[in-house]
Amino acid sequence: MNAPSPALVAPRPERLRLVGQRRQLLAVMHQRLMFGMLVYAGVVALIALRLLYLAAFGDHAGRKEGLTALVPERGDIVDRNGDPLARTIDAWTIAIHPNKVIGDKLALARKLAELMPEQSAEQYFAILRSGRPFFYLRRRASPSLVEAVNAIGEPGLAIQREPDRLYPQTTLAAHVLGYTDIDGHGVAGMERAFDKYLSEPATRNEPLALSIDSRVQQALEHELSDAMAKFSAIGAAGVVMDVRTGEVLAMTSLPEVNPNSPGAATPEARFNRATQGVYELGSTFKPFTVAMAMDSGVIKSFGQQYNCPQVLAVYGHLVHDTHPFGRICSVAEIMEESSNIGTAQIADQLGTQRQKMWLGKMGFTGPVPIELKERGRALTPGVRWGPFETMTVGFGQGIAVAPLQLAMGYATLFNGGIYHPPTLMKVGPGHPLPPGKRVFSEETSYRMRALLRLVVMKGTGKKADAPGYRVGGKTGTAQKLINGHYSQTINITSFAGVFPMDEPRYVIVAMLDEPKATKDTYGFTTAGWNVAPVVSGTISRIAPMLGVQPDMNREPDMSQVMPFVHDTKE
């Protein structure tokens, strides 16, 4: 019984196996332990290294984040002189969490109605009982109101600062700037066109510099709104543009909209007449026809004669003049007295194909080339562009363009004949002037100066003259198309001017929509009576600011035209 078990004498094979297994197991365990230790040591080392790193380069406990640079929520918009036109400020907002109100709701509602009378106590009470989690009571609240609301001491009231878009100049250049929605995204004007630039954190630190000069803008808006009120016009538009670069120094559309409260404006006011609205601008087109004819060799001198009867019957239509000559007259006289009959004949000689080609080159057949998204498209006779349409287009009927396009056309014609697309961005180091393309020859551009100066010196645009500033330009009175018929009484009057005419630098276009006659105008509603004085007033205000030196002794080379003007008045 006590005999040793075979196992003691000689290990049993299974036990041997067990020893081997244990050793193996031990090795595995050691391996695992080592691995765990390495991981642990690694983590510790990582933490230690991180600690060291933080000690050397890292943040410290008292660090305030997010204030290292002043980056506004949305980029500023400034004018060409750096004056702010749009800014984002922190405004006080008063809101309420109806669920968190612990006081007497009725008393609170009464108190709120007393402080913010835009809603009644009942309405406030309804809000408080609505059970909604959050409700804005007032955005852009004044500090005194915030103080008063805070004094109520109701924990359910939330008073906080939120970024808010402010337009310090209120209505100034409102159609250029546009406005933002309540979340701060641009929905009109440059706010819309450059929404990405203004809201991107990378770019919004740098203000968006416009080509607008706020002083020029103010002068133009003031003079235009005065005229609009005086002549009871339903609308007005104006553009001032740098002839050499195509920069728009001022652009306005009336009635105006206040971008600080765009919701209050009518759709009519939000409409940008300068870029969105296209109008048949009438006689202001005639200089283009003459210039095209000169460049094409149709007109060789301003003394070229045309037969100007009382009424011209062509292609089954009659063309009338407001001041018919009833005799043979020169090109200079046709311009001076703004003769449709004479211009129609010039356009006829020019021909449809060439007219189309020129207008295309000048950018009069496509959409208005500007950064704004609110832009119209010129209306042309299209497929019906026959010889008679060529005549009417020649004197500005049957083609509708935006006032900005008209300004662009004049800039092209008087800067030496080179087309630069109009821009609302300041031309400078960050925004170089793109190369222009030649439309008219330099000589044509030069000779046209005298012709347009003549119109202001002796013709229909006398009231547009600003003494000393050598204004040249052309009036335009177009009958308004109402229900498919040209009205005999309702007009759109416009004036396109350039100054100083001996060395053109700026072009100004002003337009009045449906001006009414007054006692001062002796019953006339033509451009020479209502919109030309706007141009004169604006130029005499803005020219000194723009560095145009007035000089009573300088004039463009008038010997080009003067010999061909047969002065019947004397």
Partner 1 sequence: MSSRSFRSVFMVASCAGAALGCYLVSLRVASERAALEDVEMRIVLAQRDLRVLQTEIGTRGRLSQLERWNAGAFALSAPAADQFLKGSFELARLAQPERKIDFQAPVVLASAPAPEPHRPAVGEAETDDSGAPAAVPPSELLREASLKTETREVPARRVVELPSTTVKSTDKPATAAKPVSTRSLEKPGLAAAHPTGHNPTVTTASKQPAVAAIPSMKKSVDKPVVASTKPVTKPVRIAKVDPLAPLAARHSGNPKDSTADR
Q: Given the rule CB under 8 A, which residues bind partner 1?
A: 55-56, 60, 62-64, 67-70, 83-84, 87, 89-90, 166, 168-172, 214-215, 218, 222, 466-469, 540-541, 544, 549-552
- B/e letters for 6-30, b = 16+ CB within 10 Å, e = fewer, are eeeeeeeeeeeeeeeeeeeeeeeee
3-state per-residue secondary structure call for 93-107: EEEECHHHCCCCHHH
Write down the least CB distance from residue 149 to partner 1, Å: 21
Write down the least CB distance from residue 212 to partner 1, Å: 12
d(CA 397, CA 329): 22
Residue whose C-alpha is closest to residue 521's, from 227, 222, 220: 227
Closer by beta carbon to partner 1, 114 or else 551: 551
Closer by beta carbon to partner 1, 211 or else 245: 211
Write down the least CB distance from residue 467 to partner 1, Å: 5
Closer by beta carbon to partner 1, 171 or else 211: 171
Work out the angle at residue 15's Cα, subtended by the Cα atoms of residues 10 and 21, and round it to the nearest 5 degrees: 140
Work out the angle at residue 357's Cα, subtended by the Cα atoms of residues 353 and 359, and round it to the nearest 5 degrees: 115
Closer by beta carbon to partner 1, 214 or else 491: 214
Helix then strand then coil, in percent of the chain rounded to 5, is 40, 20, 40
β-pair partners for 238: 252, 510
Write down the least CB distance from residue 171 to partner 1, Å: 7
Evaluate whether 306 touches 405 at the Cβ level (below 8 Å).
no
Closer by beta carbon to partner 1, 232 or else 549: 549
d(CA 411, CA 414): 5
β-pair partners for 186: 180
The alpha carbon dihedral of 238, 240, 244, 246 has a sign of negative
Closer by beta carbon to partner 1, 282 or else 468: 468
Which residues, including other chains, have CB under 8 Å from residue 345's CB and lie 6 or more apart?
306, 307, 312, 391
DSSP 294: H
Closer by beta carbon to partner 1, 68 or else 559: 68
Chain-centroid distance of CA 418 in Å reads 23
Write down the least CB distance from residue 58 to partner 1, Å: 8
- For residue 255, cis peptide bond before it (omega within 30 degrees of 0): yes
- What is the token pair recorded at 380? 């042309």
Write down the least CB distance from residue 502 to partner 1, Å: 14
Write down the least CB distance from residue 35 to partner 1, Å: 30
Closer by beta carbon to partner 1, 69 or else 383: 69
Q: At what angle do helices 352-361 and 286-295 cross, to 10 degrees?
A: 110
Write down the least CB distance from residue 164 to partner 1, Å: 11
| Catalytic site residue from 211, 225, 253, 283 | 283
Closer by beta carbon to partner 1, 464 or else 527: 464
At 116 the three-state DSSP class reads: coil
Rounded to 5 degrees, φ, ψ at 373 are: -80, -25
224 Rama sector, left if φ>0, alpha if ψ -120 to 50, beta otherwise: alpha
- What is the token pair recorded at 136? 């804005």
d(CA 501, CA 539): 12
- What is the token pair recorded at 172? 């100034």
Neighbour tally for 169: CB within 10 Å? 18
β-pair partners for 508: 240, 497
- For residue 500, cis peptide bond before it (omega within 30 degrees of 0): yes
At 514 the three-state DSSP class reads: coil
Write down the least CB distance from residue 73 to partner 1, Å: 12
* Single-letter residue type at 499: F
Active site residue 130: no
Strand-pair category, 418-419 with 208-209: unpaired
Which residues, including other chains, have CB under 8 Å from residue 416's CB and lie 6 or more apart?
442, 445, 446
Write down the least CB distance from residue 338 to partner 1, Å: 27
Closer by beta carbon to partner 1, 68 or else 568: 68
Write out the catalytic residue numbers. 283
